[in-house]
Amino acid sequence: MEILKFKTIIFFLILTTNAFAQNSTRQTAFSKSYEYEKKANYSAAIKEVKSIYDAKDYFSNIRMGWLLYLGKNYTESIKYYDKAIALKPYAIEARFGAIKPLSAIESWEKVKAHYLQILKIDPQNTTANYWLGVVYYNRMDFVNANKLFEKVVNLYPLDYDSVIMLAWTKLSLGKSSDAKVLFNHALTIRPGDSSALSGLKLIK
C-alpha cells in the first residue's frame, strides 16, 4: 500500500512539473511575441506564438488573429478568429477581433452578422450598437440606424459621436426639429463643431 502511495505521489509530481514547464514555455513565447509586436516585427511575433500554438487554445487563436491582422494578412487573420469564436461562442472579444480584418477587406455582410450576434449576447453593448448603426447609416437604412443610435444616446447622452450620428439620421428621416435639438446638443458637447454647424445650415 505504501509503495502504491509513493508511486502516486511521484506520478503527481511528474505531471505538476510538466504542467509548470509547459506554462513557463507558453508564457515566454507570448512575452516575446509582445516585444516583437511593439517593434512592429509581426512575422517574428507570429513565429513565437506558432512555436506553442494549440488549435484548441482560445488565447493562441486570438493572438494569431490579431498579429496576422496587424501584418495585413486579413484572410488568415479571419481564419484564426473564427477558430477562437468556435471555441468560445459567447466571448464577444473574438467577434470584435474578426470585425477588424473583415472591415479591411470590406466584407460588410459578415461585419453586420458579427455585430448582430454580439448584440444577441450583449444587447446593451454600446460599441456594437454604434458601429452597426454606422453600417445601417452608410446603407441609407436610416430607420434601423435611428434605433441603434437612440439606444446609445439614451445610455450615454454626452457621447458626441453618437449624438452627431443620431442628429444626421434624424435629418435624413425628415425629422428636422429633433435633428436641430441634437445638433445644438452636439455643439454644447463640442463647441464650434463643423459637422453640427453644417447640419444646422440645412435646417430651414
Task: Judge if pTM exceeds 0.95.
Answer: no
pLDDT-derived band at 22 (thresholds 50, 70, 90) equals low
Q: What average pLDDT does this structure show over 168-178? A: 97
Is residue 4 over pLDDT 90? no
Contacts of 49 (CB under 8 A, 6+ apart): 29, 30, 33, 60, 63, 64, 67
For 34-86, the pLDDT digits (tens) are: 999 999 999 999 999 999 999 999 999 999 999 999 999 999 999 999 999 99
Domain locations in the chain? 123-204
pLDDT-derived band at 204 (thresholds 50, 70, 90) equals confident
Which CATH class, in words, describes the domain spanning 123-204?
Answer: mainly alpha
How confident is the model at residue 13, as a pLDDT? 43
